Chains A and B, each alone.
Chain A
Amino acid sequence: MKKSIVFLLPMVVFVGLAWVLYRGLYLDPREVPTPLIGKPAPDFHVESLETPGRQVDRKDLLGKVWLLNTWASWCVACRQEHPVLVEFAKTGLIPIVGLDYKDSRVEGMRWLAQFGNPYQTSAFDESGRIGIDYGIYAVPESFLIDKQGIIRYKQIGPFTPELLEQTLVPLIQRLNAQS
């Protein structure tokens, strides 16, 4: 009896392996969770895209729940997400601040003019500096930041209406309820 158990060992190991592989089929090996959740949103103090000379400072947004959305004129997936954001901005639930990542001012402005501007303002991160601080590696990425300036949620990849409705809005409401 005991001897037979040893012979079952390879089978048991395989079953475990098969389960891991099965789970893996529905995961994305390239999706990187951020270590910034629950941490203060990194400071930034840069020029705004629309009005050079005017500064966009993260500190200006303390006391509000807000969404930081990374986008760029060269980003194909952003075009998917943009109409969703434009609609969302119309609800006026929270301010959306854009982060124009590694873009040219001219192209960025043109893109907004063409596809709509849901942003209260867009910070112009020409060098990608702010992107590094926020751990951005793929565009679009978005961060939901609470009244104390803590990052509460990160979205990698474009928003869909379902995601907004089911995940983001309830969270916003919860955070808004906090003082």
Chain B
Amino acid sequence: MIPEIGNFALMVATAVALLLGTLPIVGAARGNVRWMAMARPAARLLFVLVIIAAGCLIASLVGNDFSDMYVAEVSSRALPLPYKLAAFWGGHEGSMLLWLLILSFWMFAVSVFSRHLPREMVARILGVMGLVALGFLLFIILTSDPFERMAQLVADGQDLNPLLQDPGMVAHPPMLYMGYVGFSVAFAFAIAALLGGNLDATWARWSRPWTTVAWTFLTVGICLGSAWAYYTLGWGGWWFWDPVENASFMPWLAGTALMHSLAVTEKRGGFKVWTVLLAIFAFSLSLLGTFLVRSGVLTSVHAFASDPRRGVFILLFLAVVIGGSLALFAWRAPRVGLGERFELISRETMLLVNNVLFLAAAACVLLGTLYPLILDSLGLEKLSVGPPYFDTVFVPLMVPALFLMGIGPLARWRQTSLPQIGARLKWAAGASVITAIAVPLLEGRFSFMVALGVLLAAWIFASSMTNLWSRISPRDGGQVGAKLLALPRGYLGMLCAHCGVAAFIVGITLVKGYEVEKDVRMAVGDTVALGPYTARFNGTSEGSGPNYLYLRGDFDVLRGDKVVATMHPEKHKFPSKGEPMTDAAISPGLLGDLYISLGEPVAGSAWVVRVYYKPFIDWIWGGCLIMAAGGALALSDRRYRQARRQTEFDPYGTTVGA
């Protein structure tokens, strides 16, 4: 019964999406007030319907309704409750419903937070999002229905993939989708502006918070995915440039460029066309990612089961959405006017250089990901492109952007002087160089790559602090604390995010430069040195978990002669899957992680054990979270809280703000 209700809700939602996608947009073109007014209620109704459908799936999962094919695939009786809920997005069909749920949530949010927008804009924005929702609804109903019934009943389900039975699974996909799908709002704003022809600085101002929030979620989502891979996979890696990872990274790169470009457009009314194109790119890359992951076109450990039929559908959808928006762009964009003037050396220019760098980086990732497919489709050759390529090409592209991160915030709008900036930053520069040389030497081994990484991180941090200090220094009167609190949050958010990047780079540089990895044969009582620590093997024990059997290793971690931690790497044997899963033990620390994973047993009670010491690795994810915090901080800026009360257009945002 419940799955049928869910199915029905989806069908009604399809009808609503069809209405939403057509009438308001036509109404906006014709000035039909009644049709435009349909947008908000239709969007909210759509949200309610999708919630009902989602609720039905959750009820089926929690209620162990294995007559539902999807539930039988991804769940089982013994599965703990949190993972039964997470199983919602454990397979392809459910994850598509999650996409739809989050899309309709964003539509609902737009319908609520858009009082200050002109009627036509709201109608167009919600209409465009409605069309996207329509595409997903059709896809779900026609090819990926989570409410399909089993032909033959089974007593128990096939259980969720053991790799996914982890807290990371509960959080990572929803966060990621909030980001991916969130870019649909910026996209809808862009299309609405192209349709309406009212592409001005106010459009940029309205778009910005939506873009920032989507970016923030995407940052958290990618961060969680990476941390989860590290904690779960058992080989100490956290980024493999795998096609699915790249599929989430590309929209992030485009989204970052978009955020910076929106700043220029908002301040100067310039480069509107470029910003609109970036908004289209960001969402297009999200959709492309969805395609790549599910179509079987690329090999990946993360890919869902592939089906060319689904692939064709998504490709058609891509063609309509992306092709359509780019066609609209080609048609409408040439007529858009220029904004205000700014000089060649100015903050605007630096932000635009950031754009070029980020887009070149995104192009690098796209090229690397798709190149094997490109060559194969041309019948030329079968090639692999992996981490060695990306490390060689991507990193050098990002280095200038990181360097610019120190200078940009100090540059003035419209026109700035490089010598002046140089004078202000000379201390920061000096400190950075000293740090860059000191750290590798103090570790005992000089490495150019480590020096470069530390240089960039220290540079970003020092120049950000210089910038901040110049604003809150008590030298010109006033108290530091009061000045700090008076600073616009958009500005603080920017500094915070940039410092997050610095922390991120510290993590990557020091881990890659100084990590220790050993494969050792350990008998009971043996020890192995790991950086400043020693690990001692004390033997193994066995037991059983809720839906698996485990073998647990017991290790003491010593610093000097004192035991500072105990670690328990495990091997889990799930009845449904053949291979036992390795559950590595990780002892996290601010200055480094210890990582122990059991390999194979050898003669006697000895084991082959893989041990790692990974210095500063948690700074990678800490840095990402700090970046996201910066985004959240920027969102709490006063002017967004005031936005509701503003009914007047304020073209160039001359009120105080970032």
Whether A and B touch (Cβ < 8 Å) is answered with yes
Residues of A within 8 A of B (CB): 3-4, 7-8, 10-11, 14-15, 17-27, 29-33
**Which residues of chain B have C-beta atoms less than 8 A from A15's C-beta?**
323
Q: Give bound CA distance, A114 to B291, whole Å.
A: 44
B413 within 8 A of A: no
**Which residues of chain B have C-beta atoms less than 8 A from A31's C-beta?**
382
B655 within 8 A of A: no
**Which residues of chain A have C-beta atoms less than 8 A from B333's C-beta?**
7
User: Are B308 and A25 closer than 8 Å at their CB atoms?
Assistant: yes
**Which residues of chain B have C-beta atoms less than 8 A from A17's C-beta?**
370
Q: Give bound CA distance, A21 to B310, whole Å.
A: 13
**Which residues of chain B have C-beta atoms less than 8 A from A27's C-beta?**
297, 373, 376-377
User: Are B376 and A18 closer than 8 Å at their CB atoms?
Assistant: no
In the complex, given contacts A21-B295, A24-B373, what are 11 additional A-B residue pairs having Cβ atoms less than 8 angstroms apart?
A4-B330, A10-B280, A11-B327, A17-B370, A18-B323, A19-B377, A20-B377, A21-B315, A27-B373, A29-B372, A32-B382
The smallest beta-carbon distance between B304 and chain A, in angstroms, is: 14
Q: A18-B315, A26-B308 are in contact. Are A10 and B373 (CB under 8 A)?
A: no
Which of A21, A23, A27, A33 has most chain B Cβ within 10 Å?
A21
What DSSP secondary structure best describes chain B's contact surface?
helix
B312 within 8 A of A: yes
**Which residues of chain B have C-beta atoms less than 8 A from A24's C-beta?**
295, 297-298, 373, 376-377
Produce 1/0 per residue, B396-438, CB < 8 A to A.
0000000000000000000000000000000000000000000
Sampled A-B contacts (15; CB under 8 Å): A7-B329, A7-B334, A11-B323, A14-B284, A14-B326, A17-B370, A18-B319, A19-B377, A21-B291, A23-B376, A25-B296, A25-B297, A25-B308, A27-B376, A29-B376
What DSSP secondary structure best describes chain A's contact surface?
helix
The smallest beta-carbon distance between B4 and chain A, in angstroms, is: 32
User: Are B334 and A30 closer than 8 Å at their CB atoms?
Assistant: no
**Which residues of chain B have C-beta atoms less than 8 A from A14's C-beta?**
284, 322-323, 326
The smallest beta-carbon distance between B353 and chain A, in angstroms, is: 20
B interface residues, tally (CB under 8 Å) = 31
Q: Give bound CA distance, A31 to B295, whole Å.
A: 16
**Which residues of chain B have C-beta atoms less than 8 A from A21's C-beta?**
291, 295, 297, 315, 318, 373
Q: Give bound CA distance, A23 to B277, whole Å.
A: 27
Contacting residue for B299 out of A3, A26, A30, CB 8 A: A30
Q: Give bound CA distance, A121 to B591, whole Å.
A: 62
Produce 1/0 per residue, B351-389, CB < 8 A to A.
000000000000000000010111011000010000000
Contacting residue for A29 out of B280, B298, B308, B319, CB 8 A: B298
CB nearest to A15 among chain B residues: B323
User: Are B312 and A25 closer than 8 Å at their CB atoms?
Assistant: yes
**Which residues of chain B have C-beta atoms less than 8 A from A22's C-beta?**
312, 315
The smallest beta-carbon distance between B96 and chain A, in angstroms, is: 18
Q: Give bound CA distance, A11 to B327, whole Å.
A: 6
CB neighbors of A among B293-315 (8 A): 295-299, 308, 311-312, 315
User: Are B315 and A25 closer than 8 Å at their CB atoms?
Assistant: yes
CB nearest to B322 among chain A residues: A14
Q: A14-B326, A18-B323, A22-B315 are in contact. Are A29 and B297 (CB under 8 A)?
A: yes
Q: Give bound CA distance, A18 to B327, whole Å.
A: 14
User: Are B326 and A20 closer than 8 Å at their CB atoms?
Assistant: no
User: Are A25 and B295 closer than 8 Å at their CB atoms?
Assistant: yes
Q: Give bound CA distance, A29 to B374, whole Å.
A: 11
CB nearest to B372 among chain A residues: A29
CB nearest to A24 among chain B residues: B297
**Which residues of chain B have C-beta atoms less than 8 A from A25's C-beta?**
295-297, 308, 311-312, 315
The smallest beta-carbon distance between A2 and chain B, in angstroms, is: 10
Q: Give bound CA distance, A20 to B297, whole Å.
A: 10
Q: Give bound CA distance, A101 to B326, whole Å.
A: 53
